Amino acid sequence: MTLLTGKLARIIFALPFAIFGMFHFMNETEMAALISEWPMAAIFVYISGAGLILGSIAIMIDKMARLASLLLAALLLLIVIFVHIPGMGSEDPIIMQMSITSVLKDFSMMGGALIVAGISKD
């Protein structure tokens, strides 16, 4: 049971962060369009993508997992505030629904990151 709730749980939790991070590099143009009014939006996409990947690795290998989890939680909060909440005000019902779903997903992942931070030993 320790394997399932320990190492395997960390990998299962952290893997989506790495995948989302890779998406930031593969779809930079589309993601930068979400914050197109920001100067150097593409740089923010690359930095957040790198943060997602590095945070995921730190959690999986359990090195600096507490710091990585806290930083991932903060990043998710910023994404909710600056990307998803503005989308909730869209006139397009599909974009509005996708934004609401993304807010809920990111809040859930933020909660998981805070739990990992709370149980991490480093």
Give the model confidence (pLDDT) of 60-115 as tens digits. 999 999 999 999 999 999 999 988 888 888 888 898 899 999 999 999 999 999 99
Q: Flag whether the pTM goes above 0.85.
A: yes
16 lies in which domain range? Answer: 2-119
Nearest to 72 by CA among 4, 13, 32, 2: 13
Looking at residue 49, its amino acid is G
Contacts of 113 (CB under 8 A, 6+ apart): 69, 70, 72, 73, 76
40: region left, alpha or beta (phi > 0 left; psi from -120 to 50 alpha): left
Total count of domains within the chain: 1
